[in-house]
A and B are shown apart, each in its own frame.
Chain A
Amino acid sequence: MGVLLPMAPLLASTSLLALTVPAAALAEVQAQSQSPAEDAWAAMRTYFYGEREIGIADAAAFSLEAPASTPDPAATSLTLRFGAQDIGQVRQLRVIIDNNPSPVASTFEFAQGARIAEIELRVRVDRWTSVRAIAETTDGQLQMRSVWVNAAGGCSAAPTAASGGALGEIRFRNTPDGRSLQVAIRHPNNSGFQIDPLSGNPIPPHYVSHIHFSASGRALLDVDTGISLSENPTLRIASDSALPEPVSVEVTDSKDAHFNASWRGPASGGETIGDAAVSAR
């Protein structure tokens, strides 16, 4: 990244760790994270990054924005931006909400050379917490940004009035210049901590687990997601130039249902090509 500390030891395999973590080990890390913020982070830091040095990035090189007091604990926007020199130089980005029951909100694996300048995601924030983003550059350095967010009840919030609709419907919204594209997925993204307010029964977890982005037929971004994303999971990516069209997304959820859709560029006015194909085992 633009302004960095001395080289940290390079561990080539680290970026694969998130995909190969045994479930039991992850559960242990996440159980520990119920304790106060610093403890939660300390355990995750060791788990994901071991003894590697993590620098605090200059805000011009890498920034994380979130509301200090969220207007909606169940749908809080986090915006991550990379400086001009760092676009195309990022390998992985992990977003951690320390005090959430499942702290790893998302892990983004960038395809080589993916020119992503900005990522916005909407997350559930359960209580007052540190939110942090750790970026790993292609040369193996780790850089972190963090913010405090005051919130209450984002993970247990009841489904909203905007819930329902056709499961897996995908909507694209772009800026006129085609550099920024929002992908919204119609999905309850039930956290497992919600209670049906009328019956009083717990709502079982049912969430988007993975989103694959490709642009012009080439892989762009792979995102491991989970219960910390908001209802109707919404991600926005922006590049420093128009995104190569078409941008296709393939969504997988925790019941192994698959949803796909493509966006064919700003001229289409955000039009989706091909209906969202839904399949479930």
Chain B
Amino acid sequence: MLRPRLAFALCVLGASANAAPGEFTLTQFAPGVFVHLGRPLDLDAPDHDDIANVGFIVGARCTAVIDTGGSVRIGRALLAAVRRQTRRPICYVIDTHVHVDHVLGNAAFAPLRPSFVGHAALPAALARSRRYFLQHYAGDLDAPATAEQIIAPDRLVQSSLDLDLGGRVLHLRAWPVAHTDSDLTVLDEKTGTLWTGDLLFVQRLPAVDGDVAGWLAVIDELAHSEVRRAVPGHGPLVTDLSAAFIPERRYLRALLDGAQSAIDLGQSLPEAIDRVAAAEKPQWLLWDTTHPRNVTRVYQQLEWK
């Protein structure tokens, strides 16, 4: 049993980004696969627009950007980083899901007229979120903040889609409701690197906005795939995907089982927030803000199951 643990300890490359303010770090994780690691901050922290992992993959013909960050500012910094690596055009901007920290940078790429690519459910998910984003994250868009800056995909993935960047094919897969209802993964066939979006959180506590049981099913499938190298939605880069899923699966299982048990025992929601999965706390970043939200959400979903 020692080996998997050791493997996990070794599979995490680099610590979370400790860049000086204003510096946009970039890591080449595999040939032509570039990642900017987000910071482990809350959604209302001053640098909350820079918490997600974003990046791009360069092919012989063109480049695909994967997630664009939580502001137009981060999107522009990512665009500048692309330009420092390649002169090839950006043909695709791929959004892994609806969350604000992954999509608000889309507007930075709009003038280049790429094809925006996302899960078939993403346009509706964005439509539901636009008003909320404008109310709470207006400062992360160009002033004056407008709904038009929150860009929806023009190319939709129903179940799977291949994108050819020239000598390099990306396999996109749309998943059933898990972290959100619009989760999309991107596999770079050439290097065997999987971009998981927020289906995988490393070190940062997973945030539930979809269906925990559905998420656990997706984890089971991905953890048993051939893929080993992965870019998680949050946290350090991964070289043993199966091992990297272990803490997330353990937390989500404890959350789901704990919330169901609390309901069955007639425990109140505040009691459930205190007790459910409490043993997991030392393992995760941002527990105090994220865990109560997760319990509240799952408890309310299960109440009416």
The CA-CA distance from A160 to B304 in the complex, in Å, is 12
Residues of A near B213 (CB, < 8 A) are none
The CA-CA distance from A180 to B269 in the complex, in Å, is 13
Interface range for B: 20 to 34
A198 proximal to B (CB < 8 A) = yes
B291's nearest neighbour on chain A, judged by CB, is A71
Centre residue among B135, B266, B303 by max chain A CB count within 10 A: B266
Give B267 Cβ to nearest chain A Cβ, in Å: 8
Give B2 Cβ to nearest chain A Cβ, in Å: 38
The answer to whether A232 and B304 have CB atoms under 8 Å apart is yes
With A71-B293, A71-B296 known as contacts, the answer to whether A162 contacts B304 (CB < 8 A) is: yes
With A72-B293, A197-B129 known as contacts, the answer to whether A120 contacts B270 (CB < 8 A) is: yes
The stretch of A36-44, A92-100, A167-175, A221-229 that contacts the partner chain: A167-175
Give A123 Cβ to nearest chain B Cβ, in Å: 12
Residues of A near B301 (CB, < 8 A) are 161-162
The answer to whether B269 and A77 have CB atoms under 8 Å apart is yes
The CA-CA distance from A160 to B270 in the complex, in Å, is 20
With A152-B136, A198-B128 known as contacts, the answer to whether A71 contacts B300 (CB < 8 A) is: no
A186 proximal to B (CB < 8 A) = yes
B83 proximal to A (CB < 8 A) = no
Per a CB cutoff under 8 Å, which of A65, A67, A175, A270 touches B292? A67
The answer to whether A71 and B270 have CB atoms under 8 Å apart is no
With A158-B132, A161-B301 known as contacts, the answer to whether A77 contacts B127 (CB < 8 A) is: no
The answer to whether A72 and B296 have CB atoms under 8 Å apart is yes
A200's nearest neighbour on chain B, judged by CB, is B131
Residues of B near A75 (CB, < 8 A) are 296, 300
Residues of A near B304 (CB, < 8 A) are 162, 165, 171, 184, 186, 232
A195 proximal to B (CB < 8 A) = yes
B295 proximal to A (CB < 8 A) = yes
The CA-CA distance from A181 to B266 in the complex, in Å, is 7
Residues of B near A160 (CB, < 8 A) are 300
The 0/1 profile, CB within 8 Å of A marked 1, for residues 78-121 of chain B is 00000000000000000000000000000000000000000000
A197's nearest neighbour on chain B, judged by CB, is B128
The CA-CA distance from A171 to B300 in the complex, in Å, is 13
Residues of B within 8 A of A (CB): 124, 127-132, 135-136, 263, 265-270, 273, 289, 292-293, 295-297, 300-301, 303-304
**What are 26 A-B residue pairs whose CB atoms fall within 8 Å in the complex?**
A71-B289, A75-B300, A77-B269, A77-B270, A79-B270, A120-B268, A122-B269, A152-B136, A153-B135, A162-B303, A162-B304, A174-B266, A176-B265, A176-B266, A181-B266, A182-B268, A184-B303, A184-B304, A186-B304, A197-B129, A197-B130, A197-B132, A198-B127, A198-B128, A232-B303, A270-B266
